[in-house]
Amino acid sequence: MLYYSTNNKVKDVALSDVVIKGLADDNGLFMPDYIPAIPSMFFEHIDKPEFRDLAYTVAYMLFGEDVHANMLKMMVNDTLSFDVPLVKVTDNIFSLELFHGPTLAFKDVGARFMSRMLSYFIQRQDDRRNVNVLVATSGDTGSAVANGFLGVEGIHVYVLYPKGQVSQIQESQFTTLGKNITALEVEGSFDDCQALVKSAFLDNDLNAAMKLTSANSINVARFLPQAFYYFQAYAQLKKISEKAAANMVISVPSGNFGNLTAGLVAKRMGLPVKRFIAANNRNDIFLNYLQTGEYNPRPSVSTIANAMDVGNPSNFARILNLYGYSHHAITTDICGYKYTDEEIASTIRECRSETGYLLDPHGACGYQALKDGLKEGEYGVFLETAHPAKFNETVERILGEKIDIPEKLQEFMKGEKQSIPMSADFASFKAYLLSKA
């Protein structure tokens, strides 16, 4: 399968280059030339196979031409070494728990899959030098990428994070790993970290001295595998009730919209999703677009669902492209809701007292959007994108109860923090990287 850029100047690019480059040379996002259709027969028996086998079928449709079947199977199995259960919360609302991976957030799947695929393509290149992944993080992305790439051959990861501005749990998830993961503690803000990474990608000396790439959610190998979740949602709901599956609405807590876009691709492949809901916090640029047809990015505001604090969602270009730039077509498939911090807090409280289910602040937006948006006869699945313990300080403050920290998180916190202090000034970052080349 070949890929083109949403900016239309670049086309016919092979998957290997798409994954190694990340962003197209015309600054657009890569899209597959066509979205393969899965025969409808497949959906009749979708509740039979295991999640991994189901995911492999989807992966094969998307990547089967470009990756050897055995290797692709290994990538999928390696990525999905944990459960993705569907949990009933109310009579017509279900939670698809995407937080049973190594760092307890949904980005684990994309990061793990991408690391395997990147390593596969690097090993097939003439230039066999190590690839250096640079990632700026405000918390969650860094932990998913660091753990996803841990120990993967041929790749070194540098995580840049703002000193004193990520939670202790998050920090422990990328500073205690060692091996091919180096944490750089930047004297500055998240924006400074991002600026350092951007300057590095544009710097001629650095690019001549070492191979650099990014691991953010614009990478096809990170965003597309998230389509697996939607097939799992349908398969699990069908096991519970045929009628529910036939009337399934999926609500996605959204920031950069990678996760939701993967769901839209799943639907285009033939997955019977009735419609989607994009759940937002106060960063409601996408909702404004749905309501007005105008897209006006603006600086993000910080909220208690901070992994969704995005003012210019990077995958918006993909959504437009997928729907032929038709506002009407987009609003037929997707509607939106937004919630303030106070509303998120009362949703967490109400859901806990009425159903016993413990939401994290991101999942809470997804759940509330179903409460507000489901119509008669519809069944809702929201993607619970993070374990509530990842945001334990916030959730404990809201509920006034102690949250159990899962074993996996406790293990990280026992590790020894190793990080390299870095100023926010590009010259010193560049000198540091060159010393590693």
Ligand X SMILES: *Cc1c(COP(=O)(O)O)cnc(C)c1O
Binding site for ligand X (CB under 6 A): 105, 107, 140, 217, 253-259, 307-308, 362, 385-386
CB nearer to ligand X: pick between 99 and 234: 99
C-beta of residue 414 within 8 angstroms of C-beta of residue 134: no
DSSP E strands: which ranges in 6-97? 13-14, 30-32, 86-88, 93-97
Which segments of 97-226 does DSSP mark as H helices, in order? Answer: 107-122, 140-149, 168-175, 190-202, 204-209, 220-223
Nearest approach in angstroms of CB 312 to ligand X is 12
Which residues have a Cβ under 8 Å from the Cβ of 247 and sit 6 or more positions away? 274, 377, 378, 379
The nearer residue to ligand X, 103 or 247, going by C-beta atoms, is 103
CB of 210 to ligand X, least distance (A): 28
- Residue 244's SS3 state is helix
* Least spacing, CB of residue 140 vs ligand X, in Å: 4
Strand partners, 248: 379
The radius of gyration computed from the CA coordinates of the chain, to the nearest angstrom, equals 21
Kind plus residue range of the DSSP H or E element containing 393: helix 392-399
Place of tokens 């026992």: 414
Question: With respect to ligand X, which residue has the nearer C-beta, 172 or 247?
Answer: 172
- Nearer to ligand X by Cβ, of 182 and 254: the residue is 254
Closest distance to ligand X from the beta carbon of 105 (Å): 5
Residue 173: phi, psi to the nearest 5? -75, -15
Residue pair 152/232 in contact (Cβ under 8 Å)? The answer is no
Cβ nearer to ligand X, comparing 236 with 315: 315
Nearer of residues 66 and 360 to ligand X, judged by Cβ:
360
Q: Minimum CB separation from ligand X for residue 268, in Å? A: 17
Nearer to ligand X, 233 or 433 (CB): 233
Q: What is the DSSP letter of 226?
A: G
Smallest gap, in angstroms, from Cβ of residue 78 to ligand X? 21
Burial environment of residue 294 by CB neighbours within 10 A (0 to 12, 13 to 18, 19 or more): exposed
Shortest CB 272 distance to ligand X, Å: 22
> CB of 384: closest distance to ligand X in angstroms?
9
| 85 Cβ contact partners less than 8 Å away, ≥ 6 residues apart | 96, 97, 100, 236
Q: At a CB cut-off of 8 Å and minimum separation 6, what does 346 contact? A: none
By beta-carbon proximity to ligand X, the closer residue of 66 and 140 is: 140
